[in-house]
Chains A and B, each alone.
Chain A
Amino acid sequence: MDKIPNNRAWFLILPVFLLVAFSALIPLMAVVNYSVQDSFGGGVWIFVGDEWFRDVLTDGRLHDALLRQLGFSGLVLLIQIPLGVLIALAMPSRGWAVPVCLILLALPLLVPFNVVGTIWQLFARVDIGLMGNTLREMGVEFNYTDDPLHAWITVVLMDVWHWTPLVVLLCYSGLRAIPPAFYQAARIDGASRSAIFWYIELPKLRGVLTIAVLLRFMDSFMIFTEPFVVTGGGPGNATNFLSIVLTNWAIERRDLGPAAAFSIIYFLLVLLICWVFYTAITRIGQADKR
């Protein structure tokens, strides 16, 4: 559908622009200001130029945390997206089972972040947790507070538990929006189940999958509360993700400057990755329409 060129449409955008600009641009500008200064409390600031940026860029902990973060986000996406699509495909398409499944599936989504942390703490603990205790009974020495691998498994499981339902809901809605005529045509052509998936369902899911991947990437890249509650970034630095490093850095250095420089770099990275992904998906979409 061709859109009408009309610059007065800006008036419809204006409320959104003002509202978001208030909460986004002013804090962002303040963070940029902090990042080039050294704070001495009481509103005393000394200009230090690019010092904090050089500090942050040459700090090994940031590099480690970045790799860890990329690993975590990648792993989480690799598990959640295929799993979510598969579960959505397995969902019933009509009948009483639909609302029941939807409600049960969506429950984890509406649990506040720190409650998710609490739930998994309670669930994975060796002494009182169902998972920890069962594993111990089975002879597995599971201990997420000492073993880095186990801590990782716990944090990834927790994120998969919390957020896979989002992918399922989006994909399920996308699947329901495919007109039945598409399936009928496929049946007449004698298409196999996998052919239907690759040539009909997956292309139609592109819109919702883009939202799912972008949302999951952004949110997992900024994950803070859940690992903080469960592992506190430990054992050692095993689950010390970027946001946790950033917060510790701000507290430990007692200074906003380095933390502000850190978060600007962090923001630019997320912006770059999301832009590349968004552009790539949009181009594929336009190529399809032609």
Chain B
Amino acid sequence: MGAVKPGKLALTLYIVLLLLPLYWLMKMSLQSNEDILGSFSLWPVNPSFDNYVTILTDSSWYMGYVNSLTYVFMNMAIVLTVALPAAYAFSRYRFIGDKHMFFWLLSNRMAPPAVFLLPFFELYHAVGLFDTHIAVALAHCLFNVPLAVWILEGFMSAVPREVDEMAYIDGYSFPRFFVSVFLPLIRNGVGVAAFFCFMYSWIELLMARTLTLTEAKPISVTMTRTVSAAGLDWGLLAAAGTLTLIPGALVIWFVRNYIAKGFALGRV
């Protein structure tokens, strides 16, 4: 058992180092700006929840969280709806251009967002979706759909095709087979794909900022704008940052078992 210990030690050390910046963020969120700039201390001096109260009572702050979560969940719903049948097609059938289609989907993750932002802005203006949640949700499909198809395809390829054939022999229609037989088998994959969709959509800033103005403004943008207008209030900024961690932590809690069960991706 002596060989196990260095591993545990390294893991513990790594997790501690990982949490240090987060601890620092939370420490600052409990302090006023004067205390932060006034003196250096390892733990919060004069801790107070004033920063959190400010955020949770001001609608221009807390609506940012509501907007972010709205488009993130819309995005997850859209992505899973379209990616599930597509992943099934890639895992079960051979058709003209399948490999190229797959790589094309993937290539959309590779486009640098910086200059595609203006066309995005114009496009969503032209179709009248600017400053709506659905616009951001649709734009985020660009990088989430390819990833979801990729992940789901791996899980689906691990399900033997006899399962499909048996179901068809038993007289299941395709939609009924898919929902009642196939989906439960790849539950883990759906969980993992949903987790990745949530993650990338939640942390994305550039597109969300470009496509919104007021009605659907996400929290990350609220942070940049409010802060630059009022001078840097580190305490308030840290509190807002800390609050962005909570939805993420909840999502990990829900999908922890799917990740722990393990997945080896079939394709490639």
Contact = CB atoms under 8 A, between A and B. Distances in A.
Q: Please tell me whether chains A and B touch each other in their complex, using a CB distance cut-off of 8 A.
A: yes
Interface of A: 1, 3-10, 12-13, 15-17, 19-20, 22-24, 26-28, 30-31, 34, 86-87, 89-91, 98-99, 101-116, 118-120, 122-123, 127-131, 133, 161, 165, 169, 172-178, 193, 204-208, 210-211, 214-215, 218, 221-222, 224-225, 242-243, 246-247, 250, 256, 259-260, 262-263, 266-267, 270-271, 274-275, 278, 281-282, 285
Given A101-B11, A110-B203, A218-B110, A259 B115 contact: yes
Contacts, number: 303
Most B CB contacts (10 A, CB to CB) among A24, A130, A260 go to A24
B15 A105 contact: yes
A13 B22 contact: no
9 contacts: A16-B83, A23-B108, A24-B111, A102-B252, A106-B248, A110-B203, A111-B245, A259-B115, A274-B110
Contacts of B202: 110, 112
Contact of A23 (B98, B141, B261): B141
Contacts of B249: 103, 107, 110
Given A19-B82, A23-B142, A119-B21, A222 B113 contact: yes
A1 B260 CA distance: 26
Given A15-B86, A102-B252, A161-B21, A6 B94 contact: yes
A183 to B, nearest CB: 14
Contact of B263 (A1, A5, A173): A173
Interface stretch (B2-10, B45-53, B54-62): B2-10
Given A207-B268, A271-B110, A109 B248 contact: yes
Contacts of B105: 16, 20
A250 B82 contact: no
B111 A28 contact: yes
B93 to A, nearest CB: 4
B156 to A, nearest CB: 11
Contacts of B118: 256
B74 interface: no
A20 B145 CA distance: 8
Contact of B256 (A4, A90, A103): A103
Contact of B93 (A4, A26, A34, A102): A4
Contacts of A30: 119, 122-123
B12 to A, nearest CB: 9
B20 A13 contact: no
Interface in B211-238: 219-220, 223-224, 234, 237-238
Contacts of B264: 173-174, 177-178, 204-205, 207-208
A6 B110 contact: no
A104 B15 contact: yes
Contact of B234 (A122, A207, A222, A282): A122
B122 to A, nearest CB: 7
Contacts of A105: 15, 18
A89 to B, nearest CB: 7
Nearest to B110: A270
Q: Is the interface of A mostly helix, strand, loop or mixed?
A: helix
Contact of A128 (B10, B107, B205, B234): B234
B168 interface: no
B128 interface: no
B44 interface: no
Contact of A101 (B15, B119, B142, B149): B15
Interface string B196-208: 0011001111100
Interface string B1-33: 001000110110011001111101100100000
B185 interface: no
Q: Which 3 pairs, one residue from A and one from B, show the smallest C-beta to C-beta distance?
A: A110-B248, A176-B262, A27-B119
A174 B42 CA distance: 39
A31 B115 contact: yes
Contacts of A225: 205-206
Given A111-B248, A177-B263, A207-B266, A122 B11 contact: no
B63 interface: no
Given A110-B251, A175-B262, A207-B265, A224 B206 contact: yes
